[in-house]
Structure 1
Amino acid sequence: MTHIACLTFDFDVWSGFAARDMQTPTPISRGEFGLVAARRILSLLKSRGVRSTWYVPGVIIDTHEADVGRVVEAGHEISHHGYSHLVPASMPPEHEEAEMVQAIEAIRRVSGRAPRGYRSPSWDLSPVTIDLLLKYGFDYDSSMMGDDFTPYFARRGDVVTVDAPFRYGTPTRLLEMPISWSLDDHPYFEFFRIGQAVMPGLANADMVLENFLGDFEYMRRHSDWGVLTYTFHPYVIGRGHRMLMLEKLIDRLGEMGATFMAMEDAADTFLSSRAAA
């Protein structure tokens, strides 16, 4: 029995705020706290011997290369998270491809190799994203929610209309490592006021911890093999009381028998077990 926990960090810093036209000093500084928090997170991961995956926009590498370099030096996987934090579904195809190439080169420069994995900013793929990921040699994506702890192969060519049955496209070789908003720190913890909309956030961290542990316990009870992906943002999880929650999460998962892996290692493990079956 193998139950894998992937700790992943979207190292957006200020790029997500800038992409949402929140470019005044306070929201930018809110994102910059992620640079402080990253050092805390790296220290915690080192103390627990956990290798993780960091999804980093290319613009953050180009602006904060030394900070991203510390993640590389600590042995963590660096994966693709766009160049800017603009949503691919909002871009013309040629813009999306140009950003994909630009970010690949930034990751290659800071880590010494091309990224194997991709996570879409805001988890919203365009109609051409899967084709681009295949074209540029990616092994896995982590942007979709069609399962919870079982990887599957991403499709291309789905046809979705309001008034006709869904038409399935063709599975590809691109492995999907599924995610969920319920295992993401951002909607639980971040307060936003955008226009007339308010996202309250600011949840009690120990109550969120119960949710995070509960999904792992369900996987453990109902499957002999599985991989559960947790998504964190350094500027979110790096606040003091949430760092205590992250520490508790790692320790409790370890007590429950979790095997911690970077996403690329979990993907390889899945593919190897499938080939051996």
Structure 2
Amino acid sequence: MPRHIACLSFDFDTWSGFASRGMLTPTPISRGEFGVIGAGRILDLLASRGIRSSWYVPGVVIETYPAACERVIAGGHEIGHHGWSHVPPADLPADREAEEFARAVESIRRLTGKGPVGYRSPSWDISDRTLDLAIQHGCRYDSSMMGHDCEPYFARRGDKVAADAPLVFGETTDLVEIPISWSLDDHPHFEFFRLPTTLMPGLANANAVLENWIADFEYMRRTTEWGMLVFTFHPYVIGRGHRMLMLEKLIDALGGMGAEFLTLDEIQQEFRARAAA
């Protein structure tokens, strides 16, 4: 029996992503704070459709907005690890990465009563230590890499990579990788950034992005018996009015195409069961 799954995931970064880029003045911080408004709108929409989703929240955001995070839990949604700060692990020295990872786990434990099952790195750039930390702290899956578009796989660690030599594959772990894609992330499509050395134009037409995302799901339906797609949203991005209408249209279109909506934790459990069968 064909089974095609849509995972709605939300990186609840609020101001932390701006702060990690050195954008500490009031306007970018307020831009991130809008994410709390957006989160409320998203939770109302998901409740109206009976959909559970996965939320990845930096520790600094949990500590800043505990009531907003508690509302996510009250809606039946998964809370995943998204760092303590929003600094990418690949940019952190080993001791600081380990300290921040553990600190974020404790924030999630205080919020939910248990440690996280899943990890997603800030800005999707992990170090060669990150997967070991995730395993050490009891995570069962990672969602930071892009080795497939519609099928999970077991993550590797210890690859040997050089620009002038063949790739040497490392060890396959028991950590399920639930792959993501920049093309299925709202941020590069919609967010405008002007930094000292970078211009990110964003501000795309929402209907054009919607058309692409529905087409990706349709392609998966045509080419796989069992498949999943992870859509990634940021409440301060998708929470704007015309984009909320786009999200509503996406959910309804996918439902009309037979999509099952699962959390990433549910995906990793189903993938493990299929792998063991």
TM-score bracket relative to the smaller structure = over 0.9
CA distance in 1, matches of 2:107, 2:221: 38
CA distance in 2, matches of 1:137, 1:35: 29
Alignment correspondent of 2:154: 153
Q: Which shifted more, 253-262 or 189-198?
A: 189-198
CA distance in 2, matches of 1:197, 1:74: 38
CA distance in 2, matches of 1:162, 1:273: 36
How far residue 272 of structure 1 moved from its aligned partner, in angstroms, is 1.1
CA distance in 2, matches of 1:248, 1:99: 38
Report if the CA contact (8 A) 2:115-2:138 is conserved: no
Report the TM-score, using the length of structure 1 for normalisation. Answer: 0.99
Alignment correspondent of 1:246: 247
Please tell me the residue identity of whatever aligns with 1:208.
V
How far residue 196 of structure 1 moved from its aligned partner, in angstroms, is 3.3
Please tell me the residue identity of whatever aligns with 2:263.
A
> 1:158-177 counterparts in 2 under 5 A?
158-177=159-178
Alignment correspondent of 1:118: 119
CA distance in 2, matches of 1:131, 1:67: 30
How far residue 164 of structure 1 moved from its aligned partner, in angstroms, is 1.1
Calculate percent identity across the aligned residue pairs.
63
Q: What SS is found at the alignment partner of 1:78?
A: strand
Alignment correspondent of 2:267: 266
Alignment correspondent of 1:54: 55
How far residue 163 of structure 1 moved from its aligned partner, in angstroms, is 1.1
Q: Which shifted more, 141-150 or 264-273?
A: 264-273
CA distance in 1, matches of 2:219, 2:182: 17
Alignment correspondent of 1:87: 88
CA distance in 2, matches of 1:64, 1:231: 21
How far residue 273 of structure 1 moved from its aligned partner, in angstroms, is 1.7
How far residue 275 of structure 1 moved from its aligned partner, in angstroms, is 1.5
CA distance in 2, matches of 1:162, 1:58: 35
Report if the CA contact (8 A) 2:5-2:227 is conserved: yes
Alignment correspondent of 1:207: 208
> 1:20-59 counterparts in 2 under 5 A?
20-59=21-60
Alignment correspondent of 2:139: 138
Please tell me the residue identity of whatever aligns with 2:206.
A
CA distance in 2, matches of 1:219, 1:27: 37
Please tell me the residue identity of whatever aligns with 1:267.
Q
Alignment correspondent of 2:184: 183
How far residue 266 of structure 1 moved from its aligned partner, in angstroms, is 1.1
Q: What SS is found at the alignment partner of 2:237?
A: helix
Alignment correspondent of 1:197: 198
How far residue 197 of structure 1 moved from its aligned partner, in angstroms, is 1.8
CA distance in 2, matches of 1:183, 1:246: 12
1:60-112 CA distance string (max 9 Å, x none) = 00111111010011110000000000110011111111111110110011111
Please tell me the residue identity of whatever aligns with 1:34.
G
Please tell me the residue identity of whatever aligns with 1:40.
R
CA distance in 2, matches of 1:114, 1:215: 33
Please tell me the residue identity of whatever aligns with 2:264.
M
Report the TM-score, using the length of structure 2 for normalisation. Answer: 0.99
Please tell me the residue identity of whatever aligns with 1:96.
E
Please tell me the residue identity of whatever aligns with 1:133.
A
Unaligned runs of 5+ in 2: none
Alignment correspondent of 1:98: 99
CA distance in 1, matches of 2:137, 2:113: 16
Report if the CA contact (8 A) 2:5-2:260 is conserved: yes
